[in-house]
Amino acid sequence: MENVTLRDRVIDIIDQLRPFLQQDGGDIAFVDLTPDNVVKVRLQGACGTCPHAKVTLKSGVEATIKKSIPEIVRVEDDSLGF
């Protein structure tokens, strides 16, 4: 039951970050929260092809999620995972 709550918290933060990415023509989608607390997301639109996507993912998305939810180990881009 704890993962459901943790998952909901992660999705809420991603939803709060989404407008900032959308301003630049990009977007982000929640994909999964693994049992070992790794968040998988899919960068979309301009974020999917942007040369700064890794910086956005680590310095923006991952840092924000980990600051709010210290249990999260890391955030990974799962864009190639489909």
Structure tokens, 56: 């956005």
Burial status of residue 64 (CB atoms within 10 A of its CB: 0-12, 13-18, 19 or more): middle
Nearest to 35 by CA among 7, 57, 58, 8: 7
Return per-residue pLDDT of the chain as tens, 82 residues: 454 589 999 999 999 999 999 998 999 999 999 999 999 999 988 887 778 888 888 889 999 999 999 999 999 998 765 4
Structure tokens, 8: 């909901």
Is the pTM higher than 0.95? The answer reads no
Overall fold of domain 2-77:
GMP Synthetase; Chain A, domain 3 (3.30.300)
Q: Where are the domains of the chain?
A: 2-77
CA distance 82 to 43: 12
Outline where DSSP puts E strands in the chain.
26-33, 38-45, 74-77
